[in-house]
Amino acid sequence: MAPDSQIVEALNRVGSIVRDKWQLDSLLGSGGMANVYAATHRNGSRAALKILHPGMSTNAAARERFLWEGYVANAVRHDGVVKVIDDDTAEDGSLYLVTELLDGETLEDRRLRFGGRIPEAECLLVSDQLLDVMVAAHAVGIVHRDIKPDNLFLTRAGQVKVLDFGIARLGETPVSKHATMLGTMAGTPAYMAPEQARGLSDEVDAQSDLWSCGATMYCLLSGQTVREGCSDIDQLVNAMTKSAPPLRSVAPDIDAGIACFVDRALEFVKEARWPTAAVMQEALHQVYEQFQGHPITSAPKLALGEGVPDPAPQARPGTGPPPDQRSATPSRSEVPSYRPLERSFTPPTRSVALAVGAAMGLAVAVLSVATVVRLGHRPERAPPMFAVAATVGSTRAPSSPRTPDPLPVPPERSVMDLPVATSMSQERNLPATSPRGSPTEPPAHFPEATRAARPSCKPPYSVDPTTGKKHWKLDCP
């Protein structure tokens, strides 16, 4: 059982987001190596996340063993094995596996819910599915080495799933041997075969798994484990030195045929046990038919029954523990293993758009002024001033729909022909000539009516009462 501090830390992680895609909805279980959560993907699919404890994620051997569980489980290729969908590293460096999400209960929980024992017929049906998985696993050289009620799960659909291939062995690979050396023992003492308890790894094989299957049936039928003891060490010593007590010695009401079947699986000497999972499964079919009076193929489907709540309720968006109770997620820049996702385009905000528009308007105004100044120092003719003003003014909407008064526009008038604004002190010292040295009389090409009717030139401009803009009087010096 996990310590209280570890469970509190695991609960604080509920509601957080892993890798910007998995929201942890609820804590399903906490063990010595990892925590298991029900999670929802950002696309709406659901799965279970088994997250290795942060302290163990820095241990290369622990990481290797953790990943090994996923690879071995998928190698069995049986519906009775939980599929591992993906593996990755969380933001805090914790390694995690993504597996299918199960709905139901473990056989240990079911045994306790039934008062410590389950019915004999149900035990035989459960064991039949377990042995079917063992046949598939042993066929590809995989030895589970930790079969027990806690690692068997009955789904709401009536299917038995074998969990936790973390210490499974696949042949004699270096990885499997390294995983065995990780802890002080590989397996659970109460369900270990004698050769496994003694640490004889070369002798641990498929028959060792069959011994564990018998020990599991023993517990489900009697409510007691084969190895009694006050501690794991006591159970381990008993497993190494003592034979299993007969099933009917602790549960006299058990059918004799069923008890004989279980006792053979628990023989101390390997040669006296069931030789293979297939042979043991065939013998179980015969025991079931003798006990129930009909073949196991016509047996009713296993049912989870009432009173089993959904262990993984889906969290609604925005739910979860308060922010101050959640575990802090480190910044992505602090995590070397962080892999950035593709960035999506974000439209510019309104303030950015206004700033860009203002900058463009200022640039147009500066270019216009620069053009006027440059043309003022060049002798060649320039475009009419009204054309320049119209171009600059088109960058913004007019302030009012007022139509300006018509003005006489000389067909060939240039910017150099227009009056130049001067200060009052300059006006007193100016000769009576135009900026180009010509007499102050209007040019000859002006219409006679304009030459005759000279407006007042003090000031030499008029103010538009509507817009407040100044308009130069063309006939004034």
Radius of gyration of the chain (CA): 45
Q: Looking at residue 340, what DSSP letter applies?
A: P
With helix as H, strand as E and coil as C, how does 151-183 read?
Answer: HEEEECCCCEEECCCCCCEECCCHHHHHHHCCC
Q: What is the pLDDT of residue 52?
A: 93
Query: Residues 58-80: what's their mean pLDDT?
Result: 89
Q: What is the pLDDT of residue 316?
A: 41
**Which of 132, 146, 164, 205 is the catalytic position?**
146
Query: Residues 358-366: what's their mean pLDDT?
Result: 69
Instruction: Locate 125 and state its tokens.
Output: 């049906």
pLDDT in tens, 159-207: 999 998 877 776 544 444 444 444 445 678 889 999 999 888 889 999 9
User: Which residues lie below 8 Å from residue 321, measured CB to CB, with a gap of 6+?
Assistant: 11, 12, 14, 15
| pLDDT tier, 7 (very low <50, low <70, confident <90, very high otherwise) | confident
Considering the entire predicted model, what is its pTM?
0.62
From the list 202, 190, 137, the residue with the least C-alpha distance to 164 is 137
20-24, 68-72, 174-178: which has the minimum mean pLDDT?
174-178
Q: Do residues 220 and 121 touch, judged by C-beta distance below 8 A?
A: no
Q: Looking at residue 395, what DSSP letter applies?
A: T
**Which amino acid, one-letter code, is at 216?**
T
Q: What is the pLDDT of residue 313?
A: 53
pLDDT in tens, 363-382: 766 666 565 555 554 444 44
pLDDT in tens, 231-286: 778 878 888 888 999 999 999 999 999 999 999 999 999 999 999 999 999 999 99
pLDDT in tens, 91-132: 999 999 999 999 999 999 999 999 999 999 999 999 999 999
| pLDDT tier, 70 (very low <50, low <70, confident <90, very high otherwise) | confident
Query: Helix crossing, 277-292 with 206-222: angle to 10°?
Result: 30
C-alpha span between 384 and 365 (Å, rounded): 17
C-alpha span between 425 and 28 (Å, rounded): 92
Q: How far is CA 364 from the centre of its chain?
A: 49
Walk me through the domains of the chain, giving residue ranges and CATH numbers: 20-99 (3.30.200.20), 104-305 (1.10.510.10)
146 is catalytic: yes
C-alpha span between 36 and 21 (Å, rounded): 17
110-114, 317-321, 338-342, 406-410: which has the minimum mean pLDDT?
338-342
Query: Residues 53-61: what's their mean pLDDT?
Result: 88
Q: Looking at residue 102, what DSSP letter applies?
A: P
| pLDDT tier, 451 (very low <50, low <70, confident <90, very high otherwise) | very low
356 sits in which H/E element = helix 350-376
